[in-house]
């Protein structure tokens, strides 16, 4: 993985994670507004838009490393960081799908289920990526045979 690819994955992951966490905090953890407002904080719509705008950057970054890093390590039998890497990589598909479907569906029950799935997969992705970095930096590389 090139330095640019590494930075692209990390910067886009941080942007998407931070905007998502701030938006989630505002939407689900702040006190309910009085009156007829559905917005719990004045910046809530901005953080949702920032989250949606930064998500394609993450998709591009992940796509750039899919073949040169993820696939290459899979076929070579690299064991170092495999579990943490797979936990991040495999959660991207449901994370992306639920994020997309949240934008197109309108049924309240379905939206609630998609939101829960999106939050869970997003947290697993972020934790997996962070753990992957720690695991890869902690141990010396091992060969596929050893």
User: What's the residue count for the chain?
Assistant: 146
pLDDT at 64: 83
Residue 144 has pLDDT above 70, yes or no: no
Backbone angles phi, psi at 122, to 5 degrees: -65, -40
**Token pair for residue 16?**
């998407």
The mean-pLDDT minimum among 40-44, 75-79, 115-119, 130-134 falls in: 75-79
**Token pair for residue 41?**
């904080």
CA 23 vs. chain centroid, Å, equals 14
- The predicted-structure confidence for 107-131, as pLDDT tens digits, reads as follows 999 999 999 999 999 998 988 888 8
The Cα–Cα gap between 43 and 111 comes to 21
Residue 48 has pLDDT above 70, yes or no: yes
Assign 78 a pLDDT band (cuts: 50, 70, 90): low
């Amino acid at each position: 993985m090139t330095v640019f690819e590494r930075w692209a994955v990390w910067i886009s992951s941080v942007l998407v994670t931070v905007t998502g966490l701030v938006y989630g905090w505002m939407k689900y953890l702040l006190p309910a507004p009085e009156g007829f407002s559905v917005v719990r904080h004045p910046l809530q719509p901005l953080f949702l838009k920032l989250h949606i705008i930064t998500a394609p950057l993450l998709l591009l970054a992940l796509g750039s490393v899919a073949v040169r890093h993820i696939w290459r390590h899979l076929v070579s039998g690299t064991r170092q960081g495999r579990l943490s890497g797979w936990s991040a990589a495999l959660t991207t598909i449901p994370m992306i799908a639920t994020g997309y479907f949240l934008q197109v569906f309108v049924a309240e029950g379905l939206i609630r289920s998609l939101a829960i799935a999106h939050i869970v997969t997003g947290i697993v992705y972020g934790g997996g990526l962070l753990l992957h970095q720690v695991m890869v930096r902690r141990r010396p590389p091992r060969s596929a045979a050893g």
